[in-house]
Structure 1
Amino acid sequence: MKKSLFLTFGFVLLSLTNFYAQKITDGATVDVNGLSVTFNILNKEAINVGGKNFDRYKVSAGVTNNSGKSINMRMATAPQIVTNIALVEVNCINATGAKLTSKKIELKPKAHNLNVTYWAYNKEGKYESSVIPVIAGYYLDPGDTVNDTAIFIVPQGETPDVSVRKLK
């Protein structure tokens, strides 16, 4: 009984989260909580992969911050590898991923780079300063746009079936 109650509560909680995805077509723009997402097909060609025919699409997607608020993600003080900074995911449902192509595009904010000066000994034993670029965080100011491109391979005769969802 406890297990089924826990599972029911889990499914209700999962359905209330932001897993809602909106369909988008070529040349269209959709609004996802103040972020305008555009999707365009740039090029189409027919290819053969493993004896089967497919259509290869080069696509682009972009996100513009129309929320009126700046989006900021600050980094922690300790060194870390950051992989989950994407704001919006553009997912091609019918993409095959053949030939190491994409199935989705993750649109990420701009990196905030700082030049940090540090002192260290060089190979000759001389104490000298050096400059290294460091990412301090990520941002997307109001009106800013970020773009990315990808290659989607879909079954021949089909167009990319694309959906958009907000990640952050």
Structure 2
Amino acid sequence: MKKSIFMALFFVLFSLTKFYGQKITDGATVDVSGLAVTFNILNKESVSVGGKNFDRYKVSATVTNNSGKSINMRLANAPQIVMNIGLVEVNCINATGAKLTSKKIDLKPKPHNLNVTYWAYNKDGKYESSVIPVIAGYYLDPGDTVSETGIFIVPQGEAPDVSVRKLQ
């Protein structure tokens, strides 16, 4: 009985750390499983949306791989739409999403591009080779950094309430 209660408590605590992120403030850096995430407010201005006043923040988020290991995501050999390649999610809890602005920023690894040569007939009927760039996968080597920017609109007088969590 005690063992099952302990296991249930352990499972609840483990799942909470996976789903809920760490708080981060302007200019701070947080370590998320070997990934250093930095959040910065670049600009602030007041806007009016639907007769109400809000604060509009232009922000940036950066992730640096400090894990000592390379992160690689290889794609299958068939054409596919890749949606879930994010490494880290920077989520603004009090963002309204007004005026089609962001509520979160997903930091994704770098694409690994390959040039593929293929043969086809052109519009004149001549058989010729062409080169097309293809994404073969995604990577983030040790020490590599990727950045994204976004715009958060929050209620006037409030600063962005931001948390960070690892996605992969």
TM-score (norm 1): 0.91
CA shift at 1:20, angstroms? 3.2
CA shift at 1:19, angstroms? 1.3
State how 1:112-131 maps to structure 2 within 5 Å: 112-131=112-131
1:94 corresponds to which residue? 94
Letter in 2 for 1:81: I
Question: Compared with structure 1, are the counterparts of its residues 126 and 55 closer, same or farther at alpha carbon in structure 2 (3 Å cutoff)?
Answer: same
Cα deviation digits, residues 79-105 of structure 1 (max 9, x gap): 000010000000000000000000000
CA shift at 1:124, angstroms? 1.2
The separation in 2 between residues aligned to 1:52 and 1:13, in whole angstroms, is 43
Q: What are the ranges of 5 or more consecutive residues in structure 1 without an aligned counterpart?
A: 1-8
Identity %: 82
The separation in 1 between residues aligned to 2:20 and 2:163, in whole angstroms, is 10
Question: Compared with structure 1, are the counterparts of its residues 14 and 129 closer, same or farther at alpha carbon in structure 2 (3 Å cutoff)?
Answer: farther
The separation in 1 between residues aligned to 2:31 and 2:40, in whole angstroms, is 15
CA shift at 1:76, angstroms? 0.4
Question: Compared with structure 1, are the counterparts of its residues 134 and 14 closer, same or farther at alpha carbon in structure 2 (3 Å cutoff)?
Answer: farther
SS in 1 for 2:19: coil
The separation in 1 between residues aligned to 2:12 and 2:129, in whole angstroms, is 52
Letter in 2 for 1:77: N
SS in 2 for 1:82: coil
1:34 corresponds to which residue? 34
Q: Does 1:135 align with 2:135?
A: yes
1:158 corresponds to which residue? 158
Q: Residue 16 of structure 1 is aligned with which of 10, 14, 17?
A: 14
2:81 corresponds to which residue? 81
Letter in 1 for 2:124: E
1:147 corresponds to which residue? 147
CA shift at 1:16, angstroms? 2.8
Q: What are the ranges of 5 or more consecutive residues in structure 2 without an aligned counterpart?
A: 1-7
The separation in 1 between residues aligned to 2:70 and 2:12, in whole angstroms, is 28
Q: Which runs of 4+ in 1 moved over 3 A?
A: 11-15
Alignment: residue pair count? 159
Cα deviation digits, residues 88-142 of structure 1 (max 9, x gap): 0000000000000000000000000000000001111110000000000000000
SS in 2 for 1:16: helix
TM-score (norm 2): 0.91
